[in-house]
Structure 1
Amino acid sequence: MVLTINSEHWLAQGRHVPSPYYDVREDEQDISLLVIHNISLPPGQFGGPYIEQLFTGTLDPAEHPYFAEIHQLRVSAHCLIRRDGEVVQFVPFHARAWHAGRSEFDGREKCNDFSIGIELEGTDTLPYTSAQYDTLTALTRALQTAYPKISRTRITGHEFIAPGRKTDPGLAFDWRRYKTALND
């Protein structure tokens, strides 16, 4: 699978669902980190429109008790990779998505300023699918081509940039499998 990024910083492949939750980066040339996350809504359940609704500000708090707690969050990621490998893009890559929150990488705070955030539909404890690893690998390669400062050593999990606050993508994420696939 080969993915490409167009001149407007959107994937040429995949579905586009624009989020209002982003802003302009101070320096587009500073994109140098890839952060892997996970999300499922309701927690532990897959499929449905809820992640897209959260990232677009349209989540109905009456749909599920958990949604009443989170429906007012203003969060987004650049992309979501669903269980079947479908990639959904919410924010153009050159813009600052609101995915990392309070965070630090390599001594630098505010990772949203210089990172791209990719959500995997999943949980910390359930295995991710082969389709997700395939898409994540292809997406990573496309991002590294478009933003060459994202080296192998500048790919991390949310849990590592916000320790004690975040746990994703969790123990279920197979870093070795993912990093080995990047070398193929």
Structure 2
Amino acid sequence: MFKWLLLLVGAYLFYRWIKGQKQVKSSTESAEKPNQNKARKTVEPEAMVPCRYCNVHLPKSEAIVFEQRFYCSKEHLNSLDERGWIGSAKWCLSPNQDARPSNIQPDLAVIHHISLPPSQFSKESAGHYIVDFFQNKLDANAHPYFAEIVGQKVSSHFLITRSGELIQFVSTQNKAWHAGVSSFLGREKCNDFSIGIELEGDGESAFEEVQYQTLASLVQKLGISFPNLQFAGHSDIAPDRKTDPGKFFDWQKFQKETKISDKNFPYGVSSR
């Protein structure tokens, strides 16, 4: 009886030893072979983007994004950069431009008005016809008047729509084709030394308040780079051909909102 008891105890101990060896082997294999189902956490580096104004690189999540351009601050977004572009404007590049003469910086801003079709600026789609016109993409079949002007090659640096949107077509470093045959205080070829600013309007009705606000903001930005800018209407520099911006453009209001000195208005601030 005692022998059988010793045999059973021995068998039990041998069983426990075998089981323990299997557990040790299993643990070792688990340690050597990581769980394939456990997701591995990887940290991808965040994309860096350059500020269009100052070229400082910053994480994309921290940048101010406007029309797929990146800026490091609102100040830089709302400034005229060294290449002659305002960050907060909508950019619609015009092919109708060329280089300014050597050593010439703009010292004149010319105010224009334009509406396409004529006097139909109240329609939502009207503004894009001006953009098409300045980009040589105007559809001659879209309106009878367009057939008369579709071959013209013209542009302006800026357009301010009836809603106050600012659109830029040409860098201020380059010459836009807006003034034509013109003379400013005895100086011919005004395109060489001027910045053209178009206001969406027809000369027969008042401009919108928001257009004056955008214009004042634009002039403030331009004044940082061009502090000696003088101001004139297209009719002032081409009186035999042009009447814009017309009698409904409020020069006094414009001066009051911009605080520009009288000496920078050589033709005065009376409506004309």
TM range (shorter): over 0.9
Q: 1:105: which partner in 2?
A: 184
Residue 171 of structure 2 aligns to which amino acid in structure 1? P
1:85 is paired with a residue whose SS is: coil
Q: 1:174: which partner in 2?
A: 250
Gaps of 5+ in 2: 1-74, 261-272
**Pairwise CA RMSD:** 1.3
Residue 108 of structure 2 aligns to which amino acid in structure 1? L
TM-score (norm 2): 0.64
Listed as ranges, the matches of 1:142-157 within 5 Å are 142-150=221-229, 154-157=230-233
Q: 1:81 to 1:28 in 2, by over 3 A?
A: farther
Residue 83 of structure 1 aligns to which amino acid in structure 2? R
1:96-120 per-residue CA deviation (whole Å, 9 max, x = no partner) reads: 0000000000110100000000000
How far, CA to CA, are the matches of 1:96 and 1:111 in structure 2?
A: 10
Number of residue pairs aligned between Structure 1 and Structure 2? 180
How far, CA to CA, are the matches of 1:128 and 1:23 in structure 2?
A: 30
Q: 1:14: which partner in 2?
A: 89
Listed as ranges, the matches of 1:23-102 within 5 Å are 23-27=98-102, 29-46=104-121, 47-48=124-125, 49-102=128-181
User: Is the 8 Å Cα contact of residues 38 and 121 (structure 1) preserved in structure 2?
Assistant: yes
1:114-141 per-residue CA deviation (whole Å, 9 max, x = no partner) reads: 0000000001111001100000011011
- Pair 1:159-2:235 in alignment: yes
Residue 41 of structure 1 aligns to which amino acid in structure 2? L
Gaps of 5+ in 1: none
How far, CA to CA, are the matches of 2:105 and 2:186 in structure 1?
A: 15
How far, CA to CA, are the matches of 1:64 and 1:127 in structure 2?
A: 24
TM-score (norm 1): 0.94
Identity percentage of aligned residues: 46
Higher relative contact order (CA 8 A, sep 6+): 1
Residue 77 of structure 1 aligns to which amino acid in structure 2? S
Residue 173 of structure 1 aligns to which amino acid in structure 2? F
Q: 1:28 to 1:66 in 2, by over 3 A?
A: farther
Flag as ranges the 4+ runs of structure 1 deviating above 6 A. none
Q: CA deviation at 1:8?
A: 1.3
User: Is the 8 Å Cα contact of residues 28 and 94 (structure 1) preserved in structure 2?
Assistant: no
User: Is the 8 Å Cα contact of residues 104 and 192 (structure 2) preserved in structure 1?
Assistant: no
Of residues 141-150 and 123-132 in structure 1, the stretch that sits farther from structure 2 once superposed is 141-150
How far, CA to CA, are the matches of 1:143 and 1:176 in structure 2?
A: 19
Q: 1:28 to 1:181 in 2, by over 3 A?
A: farther
- Pair 1:135-2:214 in alignment: yes
How far, CA to CA, are the matches of 2:119 and 2:97 in structure 1?
A: 26
1:141 is paired with a residue whose SS is: helix
